[in-house]
Amino acid sequence: MTIMSDLPRDLLAEILSKVPLTSLRAVRFTCKKWNDLSKDRSFHKKQIIEAKKKQLKEFEVIMMRNFRVYLTSVDIHSDVDPSFTPKGTLISLNDDANHHQVDNVSKVFHCDGLLLCITKDLNFRLVVWNPYFGQIRWIKPRNSYHILDSYAFGYDENKNHKILRFKDNYYTFSAQDQICEFEVYSFESNSWKVVLDVSPACDIEAYNRGLSLKGNTYWYAKDKYDRGGEDIDFLICFDFTSERFGPRLPLPFNSSPTWEDIVTLSSVGEDQLAVLFQSNRTKWMEIWITSKIEPTEVSWNKLFLAVDMRALTRFEFLAHAGSFFIDQKKNVVVVFDRDMDAPTDRGMAYIIGKNGYFRKVDLGEDADSSCYPLVCSYVPSSVQIRQLT
């Protein structure tokens, strides 16, 4: 310790920049000199560069299991024993100012190195967290949060991070029963504002988590109205700069006229979107990747993967689970869901590739049948959450 402290500042920064993200908190508490160094902007840049280099060799994701969020190391390049190893619990934080404990996370959204977590308390709570700095901000509601709320997380052209909170539920039996509420929280102003006349006139199912990409959020959606039996499905984007929904963006497939087919979204790197489609009737699964995507336009690359899942799992992935990521080096997709063959609720990772490549990794028993294993990509970020005074 004494020898390390005597090292020149530049050399010390170079050494400490290689410390894993999950150990950075311990570095800050070691001594005042190390704590001061860890807050230096040049050190932040070194740390992020090292973290991104490491991601090229050791793939890491954010995984939610049993209402907790973990930084998880992924090794699927071993044909003998693929593994998903929790490296640190990212949610078990103390906000010293308010003495709140963040736990029981029911939803997590990733954007630009920040996590938006929604707790499953009776009153629901929102907290935004940068795991790299250990900074958090509790988001107070304008009025109150509700179990039917849906959320999106993004930022505008000035890199001001924002949260969209909405309910858009229409019931046919009475106009008084229609619920249509949209409001946006701005980190810059630390306040909510009601956004009027922004309903996208389509159905976004409550379990649809949406995907944040380049500051905007995309959902899989279907037409809200009956158009003579033709149920149109598409992507739709909320642009956090204009605070409006964009036009309907075409998909490279057609799902059935009901919600029974599975469609879920993921990211590939920092600027591509991937979509998983699985037919309820045939169990056929396709993975497509965008070549270009913006709030107002999309184009698709060739089909990444197409598999007849009847010979592999014999079941369809769950609509409210079924999160996934793509490993382009291995040329596989990894889907997280339940083990449908187990007598108990067990999380499972399904590794699926071409020419019949298939592996299953048991993630262990789920403590609660309502909590499914969910995954999202994560790259550490130097974005700081401005502390409120």
Is 191 a domain residue? yes
- Per-residue pLDDT reduced to its tens digit, 322-334: 789 998 888 899 9
Do residue 51 and residue 76 come from a single domain?
Answer: no
Is 389 a domain residue? no
Do residue 126 and residue 192 come from a single domain?
Answer: yes
- Per-residue pLDDT reduced to its tens digit, 210-266: 999 999 999 999 887 655 555 578 999 999 999 999 999 999 987 776 657 889 999
Do residue 222 and residue 254 come from a single domain?
Answer: yes
Do residue 6 and residue 123 come from a single domain?
Answer: no
Do residue 157 and residue 234 come from a single domain?
Answer: yes
Separation between Cα atoms, residue 15 and residue 289, nearest integer Å: 38
Domain count within the chain: 2
Do residue 269 and residue 282 come from a single domain?
Answer: yes
Do residue 66 and residue 49 come from a single domain?
Answer: no
Is 341 a domain residue? yes
Contacts of 19 (CB under 8 A, 6+ apart): 27, 47
Do residue 48 and residue 128 come from a single domain?
Answer: no
Domain that holds residue 45: 1-57
Which amino acid would we find at residue 159? K
Give which of 385, 388, 380, 378 is closest to 44, Cα–Cα: 380
CATH code, 37: 1.20.1280
- Per-residue pLDDT reduced to its tens digit, 65-74: 888 888 888 8
Mean pLDDT, residues 2-31: 65
Do residue 265 and residue 322 come from a single domain?
Answer: yes
Is 301 a domain residue? yes
Give which of 266, 269, 218 is closest to 379, Cα–Cα: 269
Is 344 a domain residue? yes
Contacts of 361 (CB under 8 A, 6+ apart): 82, 83, 84, 348, 349, 351
Do residue 18 and residue 129 come from a single domain?
Answer: no
Instruction: Read off the tokens for 338.
Output: 């339940």
Contacts of 244 (CB under 8 A, 6+ apart): 198, 238
The answer to whether the CB of 95 falls within 8 A of the CB of 138 is yes
**Residue 181 burial (10 A CB sphere; 0-12, 13-18, 19+):** middle
Tell me which of 89-93, 160-164, 317-321 is least confident: 89-93
